[in-house]
């Protein structure tokens, strides 16, 4: 079930960082790859909000970690651009690509400099 924009309860709960609600929705079979307004997925909004425990719960369900929003931003690029410290490594461990480009032509390798990481073949070394 979704609102008129396609945004599901899991997307809303992930966006707000409601860990327990997210876990219940996931246990009930909610889609981790649902796409709502602005092409946001549960993982994208959890990453944007730096909701680490929510992102971990979603990652345990095997989502597409390389999905992109309306601007072509993948979760890894968002995490780096926003300066998050924990989520980038978790995304890389889940298979996030470092070579995806957003609409501006920036790759995750460019975005990683926003938070001081060096991304090399799916590993993170703190600079």
pLDDT at 110: 65
The answer to whether residue 67 scores a pLDDT higher than 80 is: yes
pLDDT of the residue at 64: 97
Judged by average pLDDT, the poorest of 20-34, 47-61, 97-111 is: 97-111
The partner residues of 8 in beta bridges, in order of sequence, read 2
Q: How far is CA 34 from the centre of its chain?
A: 13
DSSP string over 45-70? HHHHTT-HHHHHHHHTT---TT---T
69-102 burial by CB neighbour count: b if 16+ within 10 A, else e? beeebbbbbbbbbeebeebbbbbbebebebebeb
**69-96: pLDDT as tens digits:** 999 999 998 998 888 888 988 998 999 9
pLDDT at 97: 87
Enter the pTM of the model. Answer: 0.85
Return the CATH class of domain 9-126: mainly alpha
With 70 as the cut, is the pLDDT of residue 125 above it?
Answer: no
């Amino acid at each position: 079930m979704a609102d008129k924009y396609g945004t599901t309860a899991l997307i809303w709960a992930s966006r707000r960082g409601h860990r327990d609600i997210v876990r219940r929705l996931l246990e009930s079979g909610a889609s981790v790859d649902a796409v709502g307004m602005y092409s946001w997925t549960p993982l994208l909004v959890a990453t944007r909000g730096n909701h680490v425990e929510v992102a971990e719960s979603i990652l345990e369900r095997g989502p597409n970690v390389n999905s992109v929003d309306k601007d072509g931003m993948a979760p890894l690029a968002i995490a780096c651009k926003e300066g998050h410290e924990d989520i980038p490594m978790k995304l890389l461990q889940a298979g996030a690509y470092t070579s995806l480009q957003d609409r501006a032509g920036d790759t995750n390798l460019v975005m990683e400099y926003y938070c001081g990481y060096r991304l090399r073949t799916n590993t993170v070394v703190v600079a």
